[in-house]
Amino acid sequence: MLATTAGFAQTDAKTSFDSFKKQLEAYQSNPANSGIKPANCKEYKLVFAVKGSGFQEIVIPKDAGNLCSDLEKYDTSKNTAPAGQSYDIKAIGNVYYIIRVDRNDGKVSQTWYYYERRN
């Protein structure tokens, strides 16, 4: 029964993430949004973390997370990434931020952190 409940929770999370990602992609594909500068990092909240390895993807809904502290943590101009890790930070207009963490410690994996601006 527990496995079934976890499966349903993952299905719900994946459905919510798919809807979120469609909104993000629509915003990103609008040329009018490409030149907009990001807002203050304090205005963004972590909404999803997606962990993947191989062809498996796990969506973890979040309702917390501080973009400012994560920008500090993953900014390679200020910090050196640990061996086997690399980071990519991307602002999308003034509504979204995405941080990608690549890990290769014998097993290649990625974690994507999706932030949305909350007013």
For the segment 3-31, the average pLDDT, to the nearest whole number, is 80
CB-based burial label for 102 (10 Å; 0-12, 13-18, 19+): middle
Residue range 93-104, pLDDT digits in tens: 999 999 999 988
Alpha helices, H only, 2-115? 2-29, 67-74
Residue range 20-77, pLDDT digits in tens: 999 999 999 999 998 899 999 999 999 999 998 767 788 887 766 789 999 988 888 8
Q: Is the pTM of this model over 0.85?
A: no
